[in-house]
Amino acid sequence: MTQEEAAEALWVSMTTWSRWERGIQGVRPVYRARMAQVFDVPPAQIERWLDGDDGFPSDAVETEICPIPDFSDLSVERTVVASARLWRCDMDAERRHTLAALPFVPAALGGWLSEWAYGRTVTVAAHEGGGPAVGVSDADRIMEAWRAFNLMDHQFGAGLVRPAIIDYLHTTVAPLLRGRYDARVGARLMTAAAAMTQLAGWTAFDLGHQGQAQHYYGQALKFAKIGGDTLTAAWLLTAMTHQAIYVGRPEWASRLARAALATARSAEAPPRVIALLLNREAWATALCAARSDTRDSHTSAEVAHLLHAAEDTYAQGTTNRDPHWVAWYLPTEPVADAAVCWSLIGRHRKAAELLEGILPAYDQARSRSAQLTRISAAEAYLGMGELDHAIDSARTAVPATKTLSSTRLRDRLTHFATTLHPHATTIHVREFHAYLHEELAS
């Protein structure tokens, strides 16, 4: 039925029906009785639809925005229900807007870390749902889709690919999770669901929707816990570390980074995984040093030690145990991470040299990374006092920033522009501000 047909059948206005669908107005008993007549179902079924007690609530009657992921119940059944609800909310335009506006909640991180490290272990990831029979090939197809979406994200930015990821989670992953699978298949399926959910969180992060990203990261960590996948959990913890760094929470970033590294080491992670996590811990530590009132030589030495350890570990190369997600950590990435850390502790020249050295290695498929590297180089040059060189480096990032659908990239560029205010009267800065405003506005 169309909205007009449903409203007419229930003797209400279109506005009332629409408000029922969106969950912003309750349904009075007289209309519940009328619904039972119109839809030819028992009154109890109407109550189950409206209250969401029939296992998998209908999209049309979901009334609440998803709460922050809760680790108190790690059963497969409840986790599947919670994830499907999150994805349904993100499919609806109004609820998606509400999700995107949610704040980042640091207090949730402590509970997640505690539950991950000390919470009850789920020993069986099997499920006997009413959906289709699920096999290993189904989980493998999710991972193939993840690789395709990941490539698109790196090349075009999150705004282009995120709607397709959410649709895939809602229409493909959710029905599989509701299906029938044994413990072996369940573990693979949980890992695949964690990867795709992490990517949905990452794209929300890239679009500046921090609370929404946090919801997805938490849900992905639950999948990893249920599937017993320690390496995927380490990856998720380091994604949370990156987010905490970005939102200016270095103390939480340090805790998350240490938890990620401890988790990876407990799983005897391969070298490139350890290198990534060492660099993240160095970044969090460097940010703490940069935020302090005085330059702490001990902390700077700790950052340098972590960076050198990461470099040596990365040089050990790849192994046949490398997880799927570490493949994107190409040789340019650890150098770019290290350069940001060196700049944070005042080693701007070293940072600029490293960044200039890797810029030629970026291809079109990693356009966003290339622009972020150019902006990092601009910040390093500005730290050295080389104003003209800094502006020239940032200027080269503007054309691609216009076309890439990445709020994070635009924010980095506009933040760099604000750091030029002490030099606002110079001709070069005035020209850059005018150029940037005109280009981004277009």
**Among the listed residues 440, 402, 436, the one whose alpha carbon sits nearest the alpha carbon of residue 416:** 436
Residue ranges of domains in the chain, CATH in brackets: 1-63 (1.10.260), 71-228 (no CATH)
Note whether 208 and 409 are within 8 A (CB).
no
Tokens of 397: 């990032």
Q: For residue 157, what are the contacts with CB-CB under 8 A and spacing of at least 6?
A: 206, 368, 404, 405, 406, 409
Q: d(Cα 243, Cα 408) in Å, to the nearest integer?
A: 11
Residue type, 109: L
Phi, psi for residue 376 in degrees, rounded to 5: -60, -40
Check residue 318 and give left, alpha or beta (phi > 0: left; psi -120 to 50: alpha).
Answer: beta
Residue type, 199: L
- pLDDT by residue for the chain (442 residues), tens digit each? 777 778 888 888 877 887 787 666 788 877 888 888 888 888 888 877 776 554 444 444 444 556 678 777 788 888 999 999 999 989 988 788 888 888 898 988 988 888 888 877 766 788 887 778 999 999 999 999 999 999 999 999 999 999 999 999 999 999 999 999 999 999 999 999 999 999 999 999 999 999 999 999 999 999 999 999 999 999 999 999 999 999 999 999 999 999 999 999 999 999 999 999 999 999 999 999 888 765 678 889 999 999 999 999 999 999 999 999 999 999 999 999 999 999 999 999 999 999 999 999 998 889 999 999 999 999 999 999 999 999 999 999 999 998 899 999 999 999 999 999 999 999 999 999 999 999 988 7
User: Hey, which residues does 74 pair with through a beta bridge?
Assistant: none
What pLDDT is attached to residue 343? 96
Collapsing DSSP to helix, strand or coil, 82 comes out as helix
What pLDDT is attached to residue 63? 43
Quote the DSSP letter at residue 133: B
Tokens of 115: 């539950």
**Among the listed residues 359, 378, 360, 367, the one whose alpha carbon sits nearest the alpha carbon of residue 432:** 378
What pLDDT is attached to residue 151? 94
Note whether 376 and 336 are within 8 A (CB).
yes
Tokens of 293: 């009132």
**Among the listed residues 89, 206, 227, the one whose alpha carbon sits nearest the alpha carbon of residue 155:** 206
Collapsing DSSP to helix, strand or coil, 187 comes out as helix
What pLDDT is attached to residue 297? 80
User: pLDDT digits over 385-437, tens only?
Assistant: 999 999 999 999 999 998 899 999 999 999 999 999 999 999 999 999 999 99
> How buried is 164 (Cβ within 10 angstroms: 0-12 exposed, 13-18 middle, 19+ buried)?
middle
For the whole model, what pTM was predicted?
0.83
Q: d(Cα 43, Cα 41) in Å, to the nearest integer?
A: 6
